[in-house]
Chains A and B, each alone.
Chain A
Amino acid sequence: MENVQEIKTETIESESRKRTKKFIKSLFKRKIVLVSAIGLLLIIFSAVFAPLISPYDPNAQVLSEALQGPSASHIFGTDNYGRDILSRIFYGGRVSLIVGVAAVLGACVIGTFFGMVSGFFGGWIDDVINRISEAIRAIPQIVLAMSLCAIFGGGVVNLAIILGISNIAVYIRMMRGQVLSVKEQDYIMAAKLQGNKSFRMMMKHILPNCVSPIIVQMTLQIGQTILAEAGLSFLGLGISAPTASWGSIVSDGRQYLLQNPWFSIAPGICIALLVIFLNTIGDGVRDVLDPRMRGRR
């Protein structure tokens, strides 16, 4: 008996491995997706290994060298305290990535779940979830995040949670809309008539048919969240002063655009690149996941 079990799991494993391989292969068939993936890996790599690759201590102030332009010793120049901008970007990437990705992922999972439940069951469940999401949506995102920051304080973890909460409503609304349209399809009725339980029906039939726009929304939202974090840090509510984050470097450099434009431009490019990479990958993943796109292109 045990033997049989083993063989079975093995075949399933190889099956899933085969599927993963196929998935990766068709994902990277488009060059731009491959380039984006490499770019994203580079950004993640630079953030993870920041202590090893940074030429300077990101917080070491050398006031005599303040606001220098790009040079051999400081590739992107220095900021108003004479700190090396490149090093700060490497370290800042950690904060930005963690806050951006964690907040959006969390919001997406929770929001998608509630959106699905709300759209699927309707009735009073729908009403309750809708009212809550409307209440969140009624307050401008940045104001909500500001007040939460003011109450609970800053810091990377708090920031991720707070930005996550302020993002949830978007996913609830989006998923609910998707579910409402997918729910009317014949195959959902077919699934119901086969005696599917609600939970299985949601996971197997509704969720896979609703994720496409969610994935795209997610990739867009990561960029927005990184900017929101920058705004909060700028106001002194997010990351506390010496710690670098991309957003805070951009806003610090704003005043010194004439002296050293790279102060703001370099982290700005990083944010832009990250968002572009995430978008392209998101697009690619959506296309590969969608069986209707199979065989095209």
Chain B
Amino acid sequence: MNHLLEVKDLVTCFHTDDGDVTAVDRVSLHIDRGEIIGLVGESGSGKSVTMMSIQQLISPPGYVKSGEVYLDGVEGNLLTYKADSEKMRSIRGGRISMIFQEPMTSLNPVLTIGYQIQENILQHTDLDPEAAKKKAIEMLKMVKIPDAEQRYNDYPQQFSGGMRQRIMIAIALSANPDLLIADEATTALDVTTQAQILEMIRSIAKKTNTAVIIVTHNLGIVARFAERIYVMYSGRVMETSKTWNIFKKSGHPYTKALLRAIPRLDDPKDRVLIPIDGLPPSPADRPTYCPFYKRCEYRKDSCKENAMPDLQEIGPDHYSACLLSQNEMQAKEIELRNRPQKAAPVKNIRDENVLEVEGVKKYFPILKGIMRRHVGDVKAIEDISYTLKKGETLGIVGESGCGKTTMARCVMRVYKPEAGIIRFNGIDIAGMKDKELAPYRSKIAMIFQDPFSSLDPRQTAGSIVEESLIINHSCKTEKERQEKVDRLFRLVGLDPSLKNRVPHEFSGGQRQRLGIARALSSDPEIIVCDEPISALDVSIQAQIINLLEEIQAKLGVSYIFIAHDLAVVKHISDRVLVMYLGHIVEIADCDELYKHPFHPYTEALLQAVPEADPDVEKTKPAVALEGEVPSIINRPAGCPFHNRCKHCMERCTKEVPQLTEFDSGHQVACFLFDKE
């Protein structure tokens, strides 16, 4: 049987002033009808460029240099057709459809969603407008948009992010394509929504015999949904095989390293992540030998002397592009395993609260009209109470919009809470004015999510780090200050000679290190980490997590660690706090929470997280949680979670459950566990 799509030796280059840069280097792949394959790799590995090249969507200065693409039913090489020819246009959207990452921008805001679906149907089928409309409504029903007929004439902004992504899928599938490409389609969504959407794509694909390519950096997603996987690195396919083989019998050092670098939900608490050292090579100066050589633990001298190896069969249906033979690899494996491992940094948690938060509320007023009438409040967080010990890490998880960041900003006193007490070392800072706050500002620092927007692009790295030293007059002389800056640079693993560079000359991981150095410069006692690693690549994430743990062991700071990645939170936290719609629903010790989640929401959240292990994934229910997070403006009465909860009782719709201590330190807000 012919493959549905077959790509042979695809090479895509980008033209620059310094010659051509190869973004995709001799990539071959194939997919059959009804198959779901995964394309994983870090940013810049050429995943998306490959997908764009297949559809001839590469725009100058990029161009497809060579290669062949065959689509079943189309005569000859797809790449020989002109990019804007009738044939290509009918293939794009008609035979091959694509869903993009950003659901907020990929729909046209001035057209109704119905029109946008209908437009695609009319373009690619012979249906008349009336029939096309019928079909569009059918599509909306298929992607589970409630009240499809009524919502047909709604505009994109009337839908939530998850709903918009469903609409995108409806558009993509409306012309019955043979192949659907999901390019990081769920990256911007919450875990529970992500699980729903991917599950939906899978069931539709199986029903209609549509092939799906999932392009992602998230190994958990491919472990759950893909049948076959291509691992890409630096424009090359490094390894390809059935999903199970990739995770359980991975043959390429890069795949092995990736799997060692990511934290997992079923990790023991003291596991040290083994980061992949260094950075991926920039496409402009990629070596002729194996691009992973520099970061590879298995490397040998001959790797550098030979050209980049091609994919070789190392098992049934299992190909890997590595020069090492299986025996050599195994020998090295044993050697590596016996090498003394870095011990997990020892934490020193003192039984003394550095932070006590009691009953904190933060409302944002809704103002209307030119008179700015106060018509209501957005109740971002309600009645938040918790404590943080010295040297402890408190993880905070929850879906977007649950108030994690608002809560952190109240602690940082970016916002002034409406009510409640925030005690820092016994002193209430909740109501303080800016002037009174000054001495406390330096004691609570922050690490931001986006390493690109959180560093002033006009300042040099050195002056970013030394700023708070100048403000707090903590160093007497210029020399002392520079020494301290150097020390901070070394502490976060940066070379002090990079001090005169500006942020854009650093890579994402290095920028985040700079952000950490800045946070540490004022000798803080608490560091609020707001999603500090979610903007980084998998192989870099481990480096930053390890760095944060080392710093904590060395300096004894406390972290408030906000993240949506539950595996990371589990890895780094001592206690975890789960939030839903501005309420705390559960607080418990980390191990306790992950082993015995009490609250139905926590349970569902844990099941929704895709894990990088196909065996574990098989045991999980398909969709853990239905529905979406309701808008915070009309929070449901009673328990905020009751309309999505499996165990919803009469009482849940009327009363708000209070956080009550259950076991030692395990607090939960749910009537299921009410003692009465």
Contacts and interface: CB of A to CB of B under 8 A. Distances in A.
A269 interface: no
B441 A209 contact: no
Contacts of B522: 194-195
A190 interface: yes
B458 interface: yes
Contacts of A191: 456, 467
A26 to B, nearest CB: 13
6 contacts: A185-B453, A187-B457, A194-B445, A291-B458, A291-B504, A292-B502
A193 interface: yes
A186 B441 contact: no
Contacts of B453: 185-187
Nearest to A207: B458
A294 B500 CA distance: 13
B438 interface: yes
Nearest to A293: B504
Interface in B443-459: 444-446, 448-450, 453-459
Interface in A148-199: 185-187, 189-197
Contacts of A186: 448-450, 453-454
A51 interface: no
Contacts of B448: 186, 189-190
B414 A295 contact: no
Given A186-B448, A187-B453, A194 B458 contact: no
B438 A205 contact: no
A193 B457 contact: no
A122 interface: no
B492 to A, nearest CB: 16
Contacts of B518: 190, 194
Chain A interface size band reads 20 to 34
Contact of A291 (B446, B457, B472): B457
Secondary structure class of chain A's binding surface, majority of residues? helix
Interface in B378-428: 412, 414
Interface string B275-307: 000000000000000000000000000000000
Interface of A: 8, 185-187, 189-197, 200, 204-205, 208-209, 290-292, 294-295, 297
Interface string B609-648: 0000000000000000000000000000000000000000
B414 A208 contact: no
Instruction: Please name the 5 residue pairs, one residue from A and one from B, whose CB atoms are nearest each other, closest first.
Output: A186-B454, A291-B502, A208-B458, A195-B441, A194-B468
B450 to A, nearest CB: 6
A192 B471 CA distance: 11
B414 A192 contact: yes
Given A187-B455, A194-B441, A194-B442, A295 B472 contact: no
Given A194-B467, A195-B468, A295 B441 contact: no
Contacts of A196: 467, 471
Nearest to B504: A292
B457 A292 contact: yes
B441 A193 contact: yes
A195 B478 contact: no
A187 B446 CA distance: 11
Contacts of B455: 187, 190
Given A187-B456, A194-B471, A294 B441 contact: no
Given A195-B441, A196-B471, A190 B412 contact: no
Contact of B505 (A192, A204, A209, A295): A295
A294 B502 CA distance: 9
A289 to B, nearest CB: 8
Pick the most buried of A191, A195, A200: most chain B CB atoms within 10 A of its CB: A195
